[in-house]
Amino acid sequence: MNDLLTIVLLGIVEGVTEFLPVSSTGHLVLAGALLGLKEADATFDIVIQLGAILAVIVLFWRRFVRVGEGLLRRDPAALRFTRNILLGFLPSAVVGMIAYSAIRALLEAPGTGPFVVAVALIVGGIAILFIERTIPPAEKTSVEAMGWRVALGIGVVQCLSMIPGVSRSGATIMGARAMRIDQETAAEYSFFLAIPTMLGATTLALWKSRHDLGNAHFSAIAIGFVVSFIVALAVIRWFMAIVTRHGFAPFAWYRIVAGTIALALLALH
């Protein structure tokens, strides 16, 4: 992971795709397999996602301050917000601890990983189209107003994103939509739920890889982190505008096309 251009390109890929329902990890895996950008590096792929997570904290800092102040006053809305985030995070935390080694092996598999990503992109795209066309429009709600069963159910669905190519944001958003949560709230919940989920994944990845990390590796991660943060700042606002106007169908079609092209290129390789 020495080439600066490679690191910057991967940071851009991460920043663009982290909050879109298209799988950031899947795109990083395909970038390595199809474009020859790098050798498989699951730790780098996971840790630079924190840059995109920081973008959420910066963009929604007022919301988090209000929640923090509300928790000090034991405000019911702030307590429900925190409860819903923790319940959404719990299933992936448990499954991630158990399945970490298997997930990492799949990410780093030279042939299997990219193939799984390509298939998951196509299947996920079809699932998004199905949910978008069969679930009636929901009334506007908020993360604070969600019931605990809904939050826990979305957290269970999020576990599907541990399969490379499924997409954490995609699984979260479609899980919320399947439970009759409106599009904007589903997207916001995905943003907020990413914070504890990716903090946990990053901490686990760094701990498991602590003996393999050197100064060069940390430098690469730091550069990728900064690039993904800057790009994600712009992408989040753009994503919300697209969702408000067109829903999630454009991303579903992108997944299907990208997955099909990836399968064709993998076959050629």
pTM over 0.85: no
H/E stretch holding 159 reads none
Residue 216: predicted pLDDT: 55
Helices vs strands, H then E, count in the chain: 12, 0
Q: Where are the domains of the chain?
A: 4-268
CB–CB of 59/233 below 8 Å?
Answer: yes
Residue 176: predicted pLDDT: 94
CB–CB of 121/259 below 8 Å?
Answer: yes
Mean per-residue pLDDT pooled into runs of 10, the chain (269 residues): 74 86 83 58 71 89 94 95 95 82 64 81 95 86 93 93 87 93 92 87 71 65 87 90 88 94 84
DSSP-assigned letters across all residues of 198-216: HHHHHHHHHHHTTTT--HH
CA count, 13 A, side-chain hemisphere, 125:
18
Residue 127: predicted pLDDT: 94
